């Protein structure tokens, strides 16, 4: 029997946590033959709710779930962690300035980075879901100098999946007919879902669409503002789809991407495609043997260049803001 993989989930009592934990425990995060041990990190007021979720997890009698620990202490939560899903964050509330938001999140992601640095397993992989995800990931990473920088990633897979679904609908094809879709930049309204390098049954997706007005005025805004549309319709943030995307992100990072395709992940830039080194920005990536690499050699048209640059500029601003606040 295999040793269980330690999976830590922060904000475990939240909406996304509730949608995420059952799928982790049933084998969807790492695979149907990989036992997991769950560590749930919550703020003290939410520990009781996390205990309730843990009771439900027990009641599922998942064969792969070898144990659950609940804590409000980051050091305990990340001790020996192999996969860290940083979901809990301070969301922007009405009237909150951006500086306040970044500062509040600095107070969460700095100690978590330090705790990961102190106790994580050598093979630790970190996915940040809590917003502003890219910059929160940067904060955690900067406080974990002993962990290889590339282990800190942020989630743009939900944007990726939303784009796949919108495009499939437009063309009347299956999502499996679409390959090589990319989300570039920040997980925010400036993100750029790219159809010029995507393929639909072998044809360039933008050409298959052949409707620049739809691409610019419907597709891109629909994908970028999908979160707000869901809040409007549901009366609550997307949760199950965000959890599903987190599962996809980690599963592919561990198990690899399909031949002839790639996925979108926000990862520390190595300077590829003119994205300043060190920024945690979304790229097209493939994964082999558990290690991702940025797809190289893609030609970037002028329209796409401007969109990528705009989103990257926003990431630079966020980085400079957290620097000015002394958070990194």
User: Which residues between 231 and 270 bind ligand NDP (CB under 6 A)?
Assistant: 237-239, 242
User: Which residues between 105 and 164 bind ligand NDP (CB under 6 A)?
Assistant: 108, 129-131, 133, 158
7 binds ligand NDP per the rule CB under 6 A: no
Spatial CB neighbours of 188, under 8 Å, sequence gap ≥ 6: 132, 224, 311, 314
165 binds ligand NDP per the rule CB under 6 A: no
Give the per-residue SS3 of 127-150: EECCCCHHHHHHHHHHCCCCCCHH
For the question of residue 187 being annotated catalytic, the response is: yes
First to last CA, the chain: 42
The answer to whether the beta carbons of residues 60 and 22 sit under 8 Å apart is yes
Between the alpha carbon of residue 114 and those of residues 50, 141, 147, the distances in Å are 23, 9, 10
Coil/strand/helix, residue 59: helix
What is the smallest separation between the CB atom of 16 and ligand NDP, expressed in angstroms?
3
User: Which residues between 32 and 51 bind ligand NDP (CB under 6 A)?
Assistant: 41-43, 46
The answer to whether the beta carbons of residues 190 and 311 sit under 8 Å apart is yes
What is the smallest separation between the CB atom of 243 and ligand NDP, expressed in angstroms?
8
Helix-strand-coil split of the chain, %, nearest 5: 45, 20, 35
The answer to whether the beta carbons of residues 247 and 20 sit under 8 Å apart is yes
- The answer to whether 162 is annotated as binding is yes
Q: Read off the tokens for 32.
A: 């149907």
16 binds ligand NDP per the rule CB under 6 A: yes
- The answer to whether 186 is annotated as binding is no
185 binds ligand NDP per the rule CB under 6 A: no
183 binds ligand NDP per the rule CB under 6 A: no
- The answer to whether 126 is annotated as binding is no
What is the smallest separation between the CB atom of 29 and ligand NDP, expressed in angstroms?
17
Nearer to ligand NDP, 28 or 90 (CB): 90
Catalytic residue among 143, 160, 187, 249: 187
- The answer to whether 105 is annotated as binding is yes
Q: What is the CB-side half-sphere exposure of residue 273 using CA atoms within 13 A?
A: 27
Closest residue by beta carbon to ligand NDP: 14
Interface positions with ligand NDP (CB under 6 A): 10-11, 13-17, 41-43, 46, 87-91, 108, 129-131, 133, 158, 227, 237-239, 242
Residue ranges at the known binding site: 11-17, 92, 98, 105, 112, 129-131, 162
Which residues are part of the catalytic machinery? 187
């Amino acid at each position: 029997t295999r040793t269980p993989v330690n999976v830590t989930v922060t904000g475990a009592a939240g909406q996304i946590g509730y949608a995420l934990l059952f799928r982790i425990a049933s084998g969807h995060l790492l695979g149907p033959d990989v036992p997991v041990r769950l560590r749930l990190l919550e703020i003290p007021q939410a520990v009781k709710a996390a205990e309730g979720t843990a009771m439900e997890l027990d009641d599922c009698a998942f064969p792969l779930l070898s144990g659950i620990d609940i804590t409000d202490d980051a050091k305990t939560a990340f001790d020996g962690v192999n996969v860290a899903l940083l979901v809990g964050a301070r969301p922007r509330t009405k009237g909150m300035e951006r500086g306040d938001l970044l500062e509040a999140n600095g107070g969460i992601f700095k100690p978590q980075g330090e705790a990961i640095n102190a106790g994580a397993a050598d093979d630790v992989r970190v996915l940040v879901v809590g917003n502003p995800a890219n910059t929160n990931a940067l904060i955690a990473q900067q406080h974990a100098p002993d962990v290889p920088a590339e282990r800190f990633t942020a989630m743009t897979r939900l944007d990726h999946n939303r784009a796949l679904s919108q495009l499939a609908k437009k063309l009347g094809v299956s999502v499996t007919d679409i390959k090589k879709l990319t989300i570039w930049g920040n997980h925010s309204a400036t993100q750029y879902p790219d159809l010029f390098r995507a393929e639909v049954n072998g044809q360039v997706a933008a050409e298959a669409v052949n409707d620049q007005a739809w691409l610019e005025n419907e597709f891109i805004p629909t994908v970028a503002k999908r979160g707000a549309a869901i809040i409007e319709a549901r009366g609550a943030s997307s949760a199950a789809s965000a959890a599903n995307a987190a599962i996809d992100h980690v599963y592919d990072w561990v198990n690899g991407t399909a031949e002839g395709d790639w996925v979108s992940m926000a990862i520390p830039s190595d300077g590829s495609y003119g994205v300043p080194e060190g920024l945690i920005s979304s790229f097209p990536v493939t994964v082999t043997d558990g290690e991702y690499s940025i797809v190289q050699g893609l030609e970037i048209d002028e329209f796409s260049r401007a969109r990528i640059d705009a989103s990257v500029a926003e990431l630079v601003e966020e980085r400079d803001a957290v620097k000015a606040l002394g958070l990194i």
